[in-house]
Structure 1
Amino acid sequence: MMAASDRFALVVRGVGGHGALPHTTRDPVVAASAVVLALQALVSRETSPVDSAVVTVARFNTGPGAPNVIPDEVELIGTVRALTASTFQRLHVRLEQVAAGVAAAYGCSVDKVTWSAVMSLGRSPNTSGAPVVNAPMYASCSPL
């Protein structure tokens, strides 16, 4: 069975400033860090242990800048994977809710989350795409 997979990107926006004056900022690095940690609970605390899902934040970008400057924004990029359509859809909704809520708790905001299908298979997880995805593997194994 293959899991559906979508890529997400979001930007946590705050108010940057000098590292010596953090009290004058709304630090998006701290807010985005909290978002990453909170997203882990979508699987560990909101998904049944007999279901299967993964939320991965694989990129945390603050952009180029001096090490003593708090940026105005942080970009988070990752993937959501699930075996059932209901879990897949729930993770999409909850990811957006959790990211916005956590960022707001730090005085920051989240730009609209953008999604791009990686292997959504018609937005309904199933195995109908398996032959296409696995064709190269099957071809290399056929002589065996």
Structure 2
Amino acid sequence: MASIRREIHVAVAADRAWDALRDVGRIHERVVKGFVTDCRLEGDTRVVTFANGMTVRERIVDVDDAQRRVAWAVAEAPFEHYNASVQAFDEGGDRTRLVWIADLLPHALAERVASMIDEGMGAMKQTLESAGAAGGSA
């Protein structure tokens, strides 16, 4: 199984970053603008459309306010297994460390997924640090 872990620091207070992350149906507006072009909720599943045209159904596994962690899973092709999470850690003041972890099969998809996560982290930093998202309203 491939395991991918990425982290970045953003110049946003942890409470504000978490407010955006926990809004799981609006990630295309509040978290990863440009990387995700559309997102809609269908019960506990979000349908995510990426800028590259790929659409994925992500089942929301947990939104943990105490740990500031969102976890989701994908149970469809091309994945045999996929689970991921993003967690926000308070670094004090207006700094937050974000950690994105994904575990997946088949291993052959690891490079492609890692590249998408890297792109997503860049979009996350830009979106969260923008005035609208940092203020809790996008």
What's the TM-score bracket when you normalise by the shorter of the two chains?
0.3 to 0.5
Normalised by the size of structure 1, how large is the TM-score? 0.43
Higher helix proportion (structure 1 or 2) = 1
